[in-house]
Structure 1
Amino acid sequence: MLRLCTSRTLALTSSPAVSEHRLVARAAWPALRRTASTDGLARVPLRKQLKDEAKSLKTQNRHRRGSEKSANSDAWELTVGIEIHAQLNTAAKLFSRAPTSVAAEPNSNVALFDLAFPGSQPEFQPPTIIPALRAAIALNCEIQGVSRFDRKHYFYQDQPAGYQITQYYEPFARHGFIDLYDYDGIAPEDGKKVRIDLKQVQLEQDTAKSQEYPPSAQLLDFNRVSHPLIEIITMPLIHSPATAAACVRKVQAILQATSAVTTGMELGGLRADVNISVRRRDAAPGDGEYNGMRGLGQRTEIKNLSSFKAVEDAIIAERNRQIAVLESGGVVMGETRGWAIGSTETRRLRAKEGEVDYRYMPDPDLGPLRIDSELLRELENTLPTLPDGLLDLLTGPVYGLSIDDAKPLIELDGGERLEYYQEVVDFLEDRKPFFQPDHRKDETIPNNDLSRTAANWVLHELGGLLAKADVAWDDELVPARTLAELINQSVHKKITGPVAKQVLAMVFEGDKRPIQQLLEEEGLFLRPLSRDEYLALAQPLIAANPQMVAQIREKNQLGKLGWFVGQMMRSGEKGRVEAQRAEEILRELILG
């Protein structure tokens, strides 16, 4: 059990009752165009116009950034260190008995200590360390048997006590690392793999949430005060904006895999500060110092970046600003800067505070935090599979997926999409067949083919419906067994591909009939056409389009066969024309 020991020392021990306090992680962590002619000119709908303009601007920005890099950056080395703040998945606050709350009414879950009420004292809540430990273990850290809390002094309206409780000097975890691979999106110049060392992972309390109402009003919600955070501090070893964004993305994936956090960047549960410096590549080794490392330029810090794109864009902008300042003979000042989404420049907020400014001191109201080795072993033994392990599993012989399909399955919806996919595959492989294939299709379908087909349906077909409807993931919209039955009908050629997509949309929109019943009642089962019926569809099309036929025969433009297939499916009886069979007939007639 977790217990509070005497002498103001906090101890964590493990016993058969530890599961009462342990937050168990899951075993598997686990997608109107129209133009009209007016006076000979095409009238483009506003929606398409705006979309094209946004695409053009994005392309221009990409080219601009590339030219800036080639023009200015070759003589300069960029160095980035990252501080990631993540809200822990806990029911209790770190130093008060008030519950954590993301969606509660403002200022409804607040204890006296959260408001710095005179005489109130922090009361450490032992269960809050469990998700923090899972995160630190997954980040390959050395867990410290004894750690301590410190006060970081500063005045701001979101911190009424005038200080924040953190672990600056003796954090609970040190010396971890993160391995980033090319498939994580690191910069090409970093090769296939780069290791980012972590200085430490520390516990600390969150601040109040502030909402500005210009010109002068600001509202404060103290529900967030003392929500448990971990701060993950990397060493300044990153030299590319893309690799920095990949690092934050990988950390979020690891934290979500271990159920250490409830939300990611998209919902405000994770924020990143980036420390940026540049120096000439030919500078003397002793020039400059950054975070205790010699030979680096003067750093600036950009606070509270809330998306992966913001991390990358802000670093690019600040790198270019610093290079411009230095090349014009100026001096980069140590300061804290801000970044607004959609901006092209960082902005100065204030002078950069240092260790002296914060007046760090041990917190006199909190004793040491002791972590029992038995508890640590149990957490290590029950740690779920991490993203790299899941990727190996999905791209290995069991599932046989490509990297492009495996990564979104792992990253989407906090692992729920992956669990759903695995359930669909289980139905297809372990409990197949739902329906015996007919005499024409009595072959065995390889498991990897089923796995890849299931991934396509989960990611693209079902994902497309979710995106079009603009709804959040919900595995009850199309139950896993229902999707598996639909896929089974399709792969055994009981229905055509277009019919399968039509039925999926019907189920997604609320049709609760079992797949077999739905297909029977709607008359959607495939009734194969005879060869003569295919010829009757294909021959008139070929006769009516001699120019396209010539391009296929003489210029080998085989892609145009798809147009003929589409026309045959439109003109034939709905649900009866098989695309593969139609193409076979077309090849026979056109190519001989």
Structure 2
Amino acid sequence: MVKFRNIRVSLKTGRFYSTRNEYKLICGLEIHTQLNTDNKLFSLSTNAPFKSLNTPNKHVSHFDASLPGTRPKLNYECVLDALKLALSLNCNVNLNSHFDRKHYFYGDQPQGYQLTQHYSPIATEGYMNLYTDIDTIDTPTKKIGIIQLQLEQDTGISHYDNQEKTTMIDLNRSNVPLIELVTKPDFTTIPQVIAFIKKYQNLVRNLDVSTGNLETGAIRVDVNVSVDTYPRVELKNLPNTSSISNAIKYEYKRQVNIIKQGKASELLNCQETRGWNGKETVKLRSKETTIDYRYMPDPELGCVTLDPSIVQNVRNSLPRSSDDEIRSLMEEPYNLSVKNAKLLCVHNEKNEQYTSIEVKDFYLTSFDLFQKSNAKLSFKEKKIVANWVINELLGNLNKLELSLREIKQSFPPEKFVEFIQLIHDGKISNTGGKTLLFYILNLIKEKSISVELNLPKLVNELKIEVQSTINDDELLSQCKDIIDEVNESDPKLIEAIKLGKRINLLNYLVGIAMKKTRGRVKPTEYQRLFKFLLKIE
């Protein structure tokens, strides 16, 4: 037996045996991002790969179909989007980039080659920082290096009909502009990979260069996975973050098992590309069948030459990074939790009623107006706006399927702050506020608002104003009825309240009372009366 570092090699069988108990996961990413420009990369065809899915070959020019005699003409809007993304990822911009032909023959690639930037990409050597508090990774910080960022054209789509044994080609997606981003193999855990992808999605949305959706294919991720210093295995066909996570986990275990069984030579001698079928990774091709792409500079496209002033102008126009935005919202005067700060800065593709930018603008405007109306707000009072925007307003928008844009005309930040002021000044309770907010939004949904909202009038109509004078006899009778109702259905609960076992049980009774009176009586009054009736000190 011959021993190398961390490996034993059997002279009899030639097998490799690991002497280590731990195996290091190493990952790198290749991300293709579809740009949402008006036109395609090298033609004037409409860039609408998803809007026209039901109408195949609707947005196809002569060049997209590679008809003889057609020539590419670069869409500089795509270059501008690539610059925005490159500078946001701290890349070095190449002032003289150019396009190359990547040759391969397939039905949905009519040219016989793909135009890409293999030799001289538009940007190189960038990075993205991940943080444990913002990105929920398993280390305090993690810097992920970016090798390069390049422009290239997308292919068409092949549709297979197994019954008819035919393949149909849709060229709507042909020549759609892509940005390919290649990271360094800096990922050592799955949470780091997922955090990077989610942060990248949010970045392209904030820059408005892509929808950033994995499910629709606007972003497509390939993962390179290796163990220790063994050759990488490329994983393709990963439609979402769940699949990415499960595929990495499976592939890591598969490679570790191969090493443990003394078959490490299988990894050393065969660099594979594998797919994910939802349960396991499956072999697509190996190094022996790798295509020779025969890259060559494209003779019909000249260099993309950029003046340094253009790069600087783009740099100056970039929005603040989401990290900076989140941290500023966690500090004075806002003092938001990291969860709420992220909700205002990180777009959630599942929410169609609003974007993070719309919510953040609504919140910031409302906060400034509320602060101007109330001198010397306490730490707790400063959080009132965030609580009502995030917990109540957004919740009701989702429930009623209303967009933030739909309500802003009738219920702008100025009117929203007037609403919050009613609660702050004690004119209506929190319960009454919830009733009023839902009522207002429902009016907007039903298009029943013809004039400007009159909040005092609505408070009157709903009878939710907190009463200044309280009839104790009437309230005592009401509280006694509630105790009798609850005692009849659950006597143990009333007994537990009397014994003072759980304070939230008393609040349960208060909640019932508040609901019956729509919050017209302060909860402290109900607490006082329930304690009196149940003889709780």
Amino acid at match of 1:91: D
In structure 2, the residue matched to 1:56 is none
The answer on whether the counterparts of 1:95 and 1:226 sit within 8 Å (CA) in structure 2 is yes
Q: Distance in 1 between matches of 2:465 and 2:76?
A: 59
SS in 2 for 1:568: helix
The answer on whether the counterparts of 2:210 and 2:218 sit within 8 Å (CA) in structure 1 is yes
Which is bigger in relative contact order (C-alpha 8 A, separation at least 6)? 1
SS in 1 for 2:355: helix
In the alignment, does 2:420 pair up with 1:487?
yes
In the alignment, does 2:326 pair up with 1:391?
yes
In structure 2, the residue matched to 1:423 is 362
Going from structure 1 to structure 2, the CA distance change for 1:501 and 1:267 (only over 3 Å counts) comes to farther
SS in 2 for 1:96: coil
SS in 2 for 1:476: helix
Q: CA deviation at 1:233?
A: 0.7
The answer on whether the counterparts of 1:496 and 1:578 sit within 8 Å (CA) in structure 2 is yes
The answer on whether the counterparts of 1:165 and 1:204 sit within 8 Å (CA) in structure 2 is yes
User: Which moves more between the two structures, 154-163 or 381-390?
Assistant: 154-163
In structure 2, the residue matched to 1:47 is none
Q: Distance in 2 between matches of 1:416 and 1:581?
A: 41
Question: 1:224-249 CA deviation, whole Å, 9 max, x = no partner?
Answer: 21111111111001011111011111
Q: 1:139 aligns with which of 79, 86, 89?
A: 89
Q: 2:283 aligns with which of 345, 348, 351?
A: 348
In structure 1, the residue matched to 2:176 is 227
The answer on whether the counterparts of 2:28 and 2:225 sit within 8 Å (CA) in structure 1 is yes
In structure 2, the residue matched to 1:338 is 275
In structure 1, the residue matched to 2:38 is 91
The answer on whether the counterparts of 2:26 and 2:187 sit within 8 Å (CA) in structure 1 is yes
The answer on whether the counterparts of 1:84 and 1:233 sit within 8 Å (CA) in structure 2 is yes
Q: Distance in 2 between matches of 1:501 and 1:276?
A: 50
1:146-545 matches, within 5 Å, as: 146-188=96-138, 191-215=139-163, 216-279=165-228, 296-330=229-263, 331-332=266-267, 333-340=270-277, 343-351=278-286, 357-412=292-347, 416-430=355-369, 446=377, 449=380, 452-469=383-400, 471=401, 473-477=403-407, 479-481=411-413, 482-509=415-442, 510=445, 512-513=448-449, 514-516=453-455, 517-528=457-468, 530=470, 532=472, 533-538=474-479
SS in 2 for 1:116: coil
Amino acid at match of 1:495: I
Q: Distance in 2 between matches of 1:466 and 1:219?
A: 42
Q: CA deviation at 1:267?
A: 3.8
Q: 2:513 aligns with which of 565, 568, 577?
A: 568
SS in 1 for 2:146: strand
SS in 2 for 1:453: helix
Matched residue count: 491
SS in 2 for 1:239: coil
SS in 1 for 2:518: coil
Question: 1:316-341 CA deviation, whole Å, 9 max, x = no partner?
Answer: 1211222233333432442222224x
Q: Distance in 2 between matches of 1:420 and 1:98?
A: 34
Q: CA deviation at 1:561?
A: 1.8
Q: Distance in 2 between matches of 1:446 and 1:495?
A: 19
The answer on whether the counterparts of 1:81 and 1:234 sit within 8 Å (CA) in structure 2 is yes
Q: Distance in 2 between matches of 1:219 and 1:264?
A: 25
Q: Distance in 1 between matches of 2:308 and 2:289?
A: 35
User: Which moves more between the two structures, 388-397 or 147-156?
Assistant: 147-156
SS in 2 for 1:224: coil
Question: 1:102-123 CA deviation, whole Å, 9 max, x = no partner?
Answer: 4134322211111111222211
1:67-86 matches, within 5 Å, as: 75-86=22-33
Q: Distance in 1 between matches of 2:330 and 2:215?
A: 27
1:112-123 matches, within 5 Å, as: 112-123=62-73
In the alignment, does 2:44 pair up with 1:100?
no
SS in 1 for 2:405: coil
User: Which moves more between the two structures, 369-378 or 122-131?
Assistant: 122-131
Going from structure 1 to structure 2, the CA distance change for 1:447 and 1:258 (only over 3 Å counts) comes to farther
Going from structure 1 to structure 2, the CA distance change for 1:391 and 1:114 (only over 3 Å counts) comes to same
Structure 2: gaps (5+ residues): 1-19
The answer on whether the counterparts of 2:435 and 2:518 sit within 8 Å (CA) in structure 1 is no
Q: CA deviation at 1:93?
A: 1.4
The answer on whether the counterparts of 1:143 and 1:174 sit within 8 Å (CA) in structure 2 is yes
Question: 1:261-283 CA deviation, whole Å, 9 max, x = no partner?
Answer: 2343244311111111113xxxx
The answer on whether the counterparts of 1:420 and 1:475 sit within 8 Å (CA) in structure 2 is no
TM-score, scaled to structure 2: 0.82
Q: Distance in 1 between matches of 2:439 and 2:421?
A: 17
Q: Distance in 1 between matches of 2:402 and 2:63?
A: 36
In structure 1, the residue matched to 2:16 is none
Going from structure 1 to structure 2, the CA distance change for 1:349 and 1:460 (only over 3 Å counts) comes to farther
Structure 1 runs, 4 residues or longer, greater than 6 Å off = 353-356, 431-434
Q: Distance in 2 between matches of 1:254 and 1:448?
A: 31
Q: Distance in 2 between matches of 1:159 and 1:248?
A: 28
The answer on whether the counterparts of 1:131 and 1:261 sit within 8 Å (CA) in structure 2 is no
Going from structure 1 to structure 2, the CA distance change for 1:575 and 1:559 (only over 3 Å counts) comes to closer
Structure 1: gaps (5+ residues): 1-72, 280-295, 435-442
